[in-house]
């Protein structure tokens, strides 16, 4: 099933492709012949999952997007205090190539403008047998998760035509901001701008910053957290130059653009975004990159004000219903169907906040389900905040599931998502407890895959699974000794502590068993319906009832009382032995169900 996030990216890619504003960068002749129709979008989460659409494999030069990564390397090498002495952290309010130097000291306003970027490059030193530039490109490669290289033609063109940057470097040398010969610094700066990347590389680099400096694909720590913190701070206020105020208002993520057509945006703890499209606006930023970032921020609620909490997967656990059966004791035939088909109903437990990152992990899980899954149970009982984007994407998931004949089922006791599905074509099954949701799915699976097997609402004693090993004659002999009883809805049939009162065979209706919880509340254990039995497990507890049994509706039962059983044991020992063998077999089956359901309950 296609992810709603992929569908959304495809839609905005198609719509934003129609934008024809701006022109590719032409100051450097080697960059002037790029195809203006190139357009790619890539989104990488902090756990390494990637969404891509369009020209994401087309390579281009990184240009000014190199600046935050070189700045971070200098911070890691020298520390914040030493780097701050050479380059400030204040927005310049000027374009990227303006001479924004402090009067007297000559210190550049920040490391995102060209003067500050040249300074940051000069602060990186050769180390461990690697030249300055080799260390710079190796850092970029660690961020990208693959080895990157330089476009030599563009580098030579930069050298030939980069007169303003050359002038800036010599001006910085006059203030001793660059302390040595600026020529090698200029060359290394032009080389770093000429490093070739694609949209996927930039997305992974952005996701590495979002992941506190650790590459989510390779696990390599590309930068220490202190440096990442400073880099993202400066990107927030200065990364988009004289358009930074508009960007932070409309997009609200630390970002950096480059005249090669790339744009990156970082939502810390959640996601890294990269867009590639060469036509630039008057600020030197990609027109489509700006438009895409604004749309994504608005529609996916990625602005830092909305998505302030660190993202993590919202999925607590995933399992099929064979690992957590409802606890209903069914016929042997029905149990066989559930053993064979239970994998077709999956439970996905969610927790925490459904902001973008949490929602993305949920959507990813729903979209990657095996083809033979028919029912998806979303357990929302531990979900706190739910963003609007989560509701929209979940609604789209439900539509996509319905298109391939799959059913979404909710465990939503507080009505968290009730409004989302108010106007759908058919109601979304919603339950207060997992047991109820699983029971519903079990019934649907039995109906769908059980052939002629039906779920009876009323049975005869002879149809009860517990007595199936007995002959018809033995069942008839026992039935003659049973009492006929009816209990109204809400009636407590058995209470904790009562002595063994016999074996109860349900002919119609439902009962629920429960035990006292640690805080005095009632913990539901299981639901039993027509054909099931209860009462006999007291024999394993010093003849004392350990559960409370209550009628959920009008219940009709046959009871083989304790006195009747003693009579059978005295008058017909063979029949008594056959009865206990059958009840023991049934009890083992039910205990297995209890244990599996309880194992999941303990995790709750």
Higher pLDDT, 499 or 6: 6
The predicted pLDDT at position 39 comes to 98
Measure Cα distances from 466 to 65, 335, 499, 576 in Å. Answer: 72, 13, 21, 14
355 or 146: which carries more pLDDT confidence? 146
**Domain-embedded: residue 304:** no
pLDDT at residue 295 above 90? yes
Mean pLDDT, the chain, integer? 88
Percent of the chain with pLDDT over 90: 59
Q: What is the pLDDT of residue 381?
A: 87
Residue 306 within any structural domain of the chain = no
Is 588 or 60 the better-scoring residue by pLDDT? 60
Please check whether residues 60 and 141 belong to one and the same domain: yes
pLDDT of residue 353 exceeding 90, the answer is: no
Residue 102: per-residue pLDDT:
66
Regarding whether 227 and 87 lie in a shared domain, the answer is yes
* Mean pLDDT of all residues in 52-69: 97
* Residues 457-504: tens digit of each pLDDT: 788 999 888 898 899 999 999 999 999 999 999 999 998 888 888 999
Asked if 69 and 196 sit in the same domain, the reply is yes
Bigger pLDDT: 314 vs 280: 280
- Contact present, 42 and 9 (Cβ < 8 Å): no
pTM of the model: 0.75
Which of 449, 479, 504 marks a domain boundary? 449
Containing structural domain, residue 150: 4-299
In a domain, 578, yes or no: yes
Average of per-residue pLDDT across 124-135:
95
Per the structure block, which two tokens stand in for 574? Answer: 């063979």
What pairs with residue 387 in β-bridges? none
- 537 and 576 fall within a common domain: yes
- Of 16-30, 514-528, 566-580, the least confident: 514-528
Burial of 601 (0-12, 13-18, 19+ CB in 10 A): middle
Instruction: Tell me what pLDDT residue 423 has.
Output: 59
pLDDT beyond 90 at 208: yes
Same domain for 272 and 152:
yes
**For the chain, give me the number of helices (H) and strands (E)?**
19, 20
Examine residue 455 and state whether it is found in any structural domain, yes or no.
no
Highest-confidence range of 143-157, 231-245, 521-535, by mean pLDDT? 143-157
Considering the domain boundaries, does residue 431 fall inside one? yes
- 82 in the same domain as 13: yes
Specify whether 512 is located in the same domain as 568: yes
CATH number at residue 124: 3.40.710.10
- Taking CA 281 as the corner, what is the angle to CA 303 and CA 257, rounded to the nearest 5 degrees? 50
- Confidence grade of residue 314 (pLDDT, cut at 50, 70, 90): confident
Q: How many domains, in total, are found in the chain?
A: 3
Highest mean pLDDT among 92-106, 257-271, 349-363: 257-271
The CATH number covering residue 498 comes to: 2.60.120.10
d(CA 353, CA 382): 9
Residue 308 in any domain: the answer is no
Q: Does residue 89 sit in the same domain as residue 228?
A: yes
What's the pLDDT band for 181 if we cut at 50, 70, 90? very high
Same domain, residue pair 490 and 584:
yes
Average pLDDT over every residue of 39-66: 97
The verdict on 276 and 322 lying in the same domain is: no
Query: What is the predicted pLDDT for the residue at 424?
Result: 62
43, part of any domain: yes
Last residue of a domain, one of 247, 271, 299: 299
pLDDT tier, 450 (very low <50, low <70, confident <90, very high otherwise): confident
Residue 602 has a pLDDT of: 46
Note whether residue 541 is domain-resident: yes
Where does a domain end: 265, 299, 333? 299
In a shared domain, residues 77 and 57: yes
82 vs 400, which has greater pLDDT? 82
**Tens of pLDDT, residues 555-585:** 999 999 999 999 999 999 999 999 989 888 8
Question: Residue 393 is part of a domain; what is its CATH number?
Answer: 3.30.750.24
H or E element, residue 60: strand 60-61
- For residues 60 and 27, state if they share a domain: yes
């Amino acid at each position: 099933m296609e992810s709603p996030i992929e569908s959304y990216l495809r839609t905005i890619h198609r719509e934003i492709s129609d934008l024809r504003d701006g022109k590719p960068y032409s100051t450097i002749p080697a960059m002037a012949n790029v195809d203006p129709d190139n357009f790619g979008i890539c989104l990488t989460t902090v756990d390494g999952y990637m969404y891509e659409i369009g020209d994401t494999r087309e390579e281009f030069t990184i240009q000014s997007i190199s600046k935050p990564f070189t700045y971070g390397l200098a911070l890691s090498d020298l520390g914040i205090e030493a780097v701050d002495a050479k380059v400030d952290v204040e927005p310049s309010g000027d374009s990227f190539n303006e001479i924004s130097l402090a009067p007297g000291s000559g210190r550049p306003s920040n490391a995102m403008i060209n003067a500050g970027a040249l300074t940051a490059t000069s602060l990186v030193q050769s180390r461990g047998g690697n030249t300055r530039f080799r260390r710079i490109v190796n850092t970029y490669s660690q961020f990208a998760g693959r080895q990157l290289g330089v476009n030599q033609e563009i580098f030579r063109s930069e050298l030939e035509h980069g007169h303003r940057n050359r002038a800036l470097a010599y001006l910085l040398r006059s203030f001793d901001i660059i302390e040595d010969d600026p020529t090698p610094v200029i060359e290394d700066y032009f080389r770093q701008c000429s490093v070739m990347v694609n949209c996927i590389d930039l997305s992974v680099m952005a996701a590495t910053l979002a992941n506190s400096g650790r590459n989510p694909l390779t696990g390599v720590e590309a930068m220490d957290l202190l440096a990442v913190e400073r880099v993202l701070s400066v990107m927030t206020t200065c990364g988009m130059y004289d358009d930074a105020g508009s960007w932070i208002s409309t997009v609200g993520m630390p970002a950096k653009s480059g005249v090669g057509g790339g744009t990156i945006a970082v939502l810390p703890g959640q996601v890294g975004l990269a867009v590639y499209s060469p036509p630039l606006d008057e600020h030197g930023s990609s027109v489509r990159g700006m438009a895409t970032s604004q749309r994504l921020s608005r529609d996916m609620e990625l602005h830092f004000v909305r998505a302030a909490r660190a993202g993590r997967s919202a999925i607590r656990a995933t399992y099929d219903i064979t690992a957590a059966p409802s606890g209903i004791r069914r016929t042997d035939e029905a149990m066989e169907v559930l053993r064979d088909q239970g994998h077709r109903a999956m439970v996905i437990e969610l927790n925490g906040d459904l902001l973008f990152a949490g929602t993305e992990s949920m959507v990813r899980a729903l979209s990657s389900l095996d083809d033979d899954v028919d029912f998806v149970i979303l357990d929302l009982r531990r979900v706190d905040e739910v963003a609007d984007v989560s509701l929209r994407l979940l609604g789209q998931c439900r539509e996509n599931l319905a298109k391939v004949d799959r059913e979404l089922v909710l465990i939503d006791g507080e009505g968290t998502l009730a409004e989302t599905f108010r106007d759908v074509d058919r109601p979304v099954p919603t339950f207060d407890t997992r047991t109820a949701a699983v029971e519903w799915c079990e019934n649907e699976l039995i109906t769908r895959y059980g052939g002629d097997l039906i779920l009876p609402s009323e049975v005869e004693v002879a149809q009860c699974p517990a007595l199936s090993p007995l002959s018809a004659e033995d069942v008839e002999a026992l039935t003659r000794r049973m009492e006929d009883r009816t209990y109204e809805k809400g009636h407590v049939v058995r209470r904790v502590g009562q002595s063994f009162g016999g074996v109860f065979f349900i002919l119609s209706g439902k009962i629920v068993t429960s035990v006292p919880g640690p805080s005095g509340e009632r913990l539901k254990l299981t639901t039993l319906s027509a054909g099931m039995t209860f009462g006999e497990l007291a024999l394993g507890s010093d003849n004392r009832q350990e559960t409370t049994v209550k009628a959920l509706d009008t219940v009709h039962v046959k009871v083989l009382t304790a006195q009747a059983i003693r009579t059978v044991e005295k008058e017909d020992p063979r029949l008594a032995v056959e009865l206990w063998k059958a009840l023991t077999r049934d009890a083992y089956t039910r205990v297995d169900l209890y244990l599996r359901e309880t194992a999941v309950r303990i995790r709750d």
